[in-house]
Amino acid sequence: MRNLQVNGERLWASLMELAQIGATAKGGVCRLAASDLDAEARRLFIRWCEEAGCTVRVDRIGNIFARRAGRNPDLAPVMTGSHLDTQPTGGRFDGAYGVMAGLEIVRTLNDLGYETEAPIEVVAWTNEEGSRFSPAMVGSGVFAGVFDLSYGLERPDNATGVTLGAELERIGFAGSEPVGGHKVAAYFEAHIEQGPILEAAQKPIGVVTGAQGQRWYEITVTGQEAHAGPTPMPRRRDALVGAARMIDAVNRIGHAHAPYACATVGFVQASPNSRNTIPGRVFFTVDFRHPNDVVLTEMDRELRQACDDAAAASGGLEVEVKEFWYFPPTPFDPALVGRVRDAAAALGQPHQDIISGAGHDAVYMARVAPTAMVFVPCVGGISHNEIEDAKPEDLTAGCAVLLNALLESAEQTSRA
């Protein structure tokens, strides 16, 4: 381990200058994917990369790759980055931190005159947030072959219907490079945690071992509509009473698999939704998350059992449990995760292993390249909010860990 440091003041200054583009009155950022402001941020990033001696290429879905040459041009690059787009009421660090940390690494290596064996590429992925064009992580998803290019380009703006492809053309970022197909030796992404764990533990570095798996369900409970007055209690088949018992079970399943399980019912619709009619039908959704597929499968079994039991105990209801979406847990590459952990230890930074609760470009990149992530705390665990904040010293520590872990890979490549 080299224990190289980065220039934290320069990193912070770049983050603050970038945050001016789309700055909101409450101190946040609104820089939607493929908007004029996104284009302005992209141009600033490219200018800084070119000033740092990088060669910049843009692919057809608008992903930007800034390459710092290595000693051996035949080697696949070691890549790092994140995204420049934000939520409508987003913060200054989500995404921007990972891109600016990559740029700071290039600047630091330039200061040191450090030549790596493999090239280093700093990437800014298109439309990570998925708030203007859904789904999320479109640029990295197309790069990783999760989505077809045409699917990505045809994503409509949620409000106006204009496509991502048309907007990329308009802002001058429908690039000429084919998407994907260029080999990546390793991918590292630095990101704010967007949760409260590191701050509570007073650890500046989270060694991200993987991302949670998710199972989403749509559940329909059917009973019988009847008059709220003349129908005696023992005669009722009240779908909402059954659904309430099922929703309580969802919450209990989440608690039973602590600390990593998450279990949420976020949408409920009762019908006919009339105050003096016993509900005949209820539709609700379930969102289960866990980093371990075995546990996620056990949660699935418990959900189905709980729904059957609640239906039987509520006057003999019918229940349909439909799995709507499944996203498998993504373990990151053990060797790269080890490099992040070793770099944190060598730099004397308190650190702990952590699982990503949110989706990131790294989750798709893990399908095509060895991947790892570095988390740093954010104040109060708050993100996707204009008050999102992070401490300069934590951002600096995360960037230094990223640099040293990445350098291990950039040199390892030569020995592969």
Q: Which positions touch Zn ion (CB under 5 A)?
A: 94-95
Q: For residues 94 and 300, which CB has a smaller minimum distance to Zn ion in the complex?
A: 94
Q: For residues 188 and 284, which CB has a smaller minimum distance to Zn ion in the complex?
A: 188
Q: How far apart are CA 205 and CA 395, in angstroms?
A: 9
Which residue is closest to Zn ion by CB? 95
Q: How far is the CB of 129 from Zn ion (least distance, A)?
A: 7
Concatenating the DSSP letter of every residue in 31-72 gives: --TTSHHHHHHHHHHHHHHHHTT-EEEEBTT--EEEEE--S-
Q: Which of 96, 79, 97 is nearest to 6 (CA)?
A: 97
Residue type, 222: T
Q: For residues 339 and 360, which CB has a smaller minimum distance to Zn ion in the complex?
A: 360
Q: For residues 68 and 360, which CB has a smaller minimum distance to Zn ion in the complex?
A: 360
Task: Report whether 163 contacts 154 (CB < 8 A).
Answer: yes
Q: How far is the CB of 224 from Zn ion (least distance, A)?
A: 47
Task: Report whether 158 contacts 168 (CB < 8 A).
Answer: no
Q: How far is the CB of 119 from Zn ion (least distance, A)?
A: 25
Task: Report residue 415 as tokens.
Answer: 């020995």
Q: For residues 190 and 207, which CB has a smaller minimum distance to Zn ion in the complex?
A: 190
Chain Cα centroid distance, residue 108? 27
Q: How far is the CB of 136 from Zn ion (least distance, A)?
A: 9
Q: For residues 92 and 339, which CB has a smaller minimum distance to Zn ion in the complex?
A: 92
Q: Which helix (H) or strand (E) holds 334?
A: helix 334-346
Q: How far is the CB of 383 from Zn ion (least distance, A)?
A: 8
Q: How far apart are CA 100 and CA 103, in angstroms?
A: 5
Q: For residues 94 and 388, which CB has a smaller minimum distance to Zn ion in the complex?
A: 94
Q: How far apart are CA 108 and CA 409, in angstroms?
A: 17
Q: Which residues contact 287 (CB under 8 A, 6 or more apart)?
A: 214, 215, 216, 262, 263, 264, 265, 266
Q: How far is the CB of 94 from Zn ion (least distance, A)?
A: 4
User: Dihedrals φ, ψ of 167, to 5°?
Assistant: -70, -35
Task: Report whether 165 contacts 62 (CB < 8 A).
Answer: no
Concatenating the DSSP letter of every residue in 256-311 gives: HTTTT-EEE---EEEES--TTEE--EEEEEEEEEES-HHHHHHHHHHHHHHHHHHH
Task: Report whether 254 contacts 293 (CB < 8 A).
Answer: no
Q: How far is the CB of 192 from Zn ion (least distance, A)?
A: 8
Task: Report residue 298 as tokens.
Answer: 């056990």
Q: How far is the CB of 61 from Zn ion (least distance, A)?
A: 17
Q: For residues 242 and 359, which CB has a smaller minimum distance to Zn ion in the complex?
A: 359
Q: How far is the CB of 385 from Zn ion (least distance, A)?
A: 13
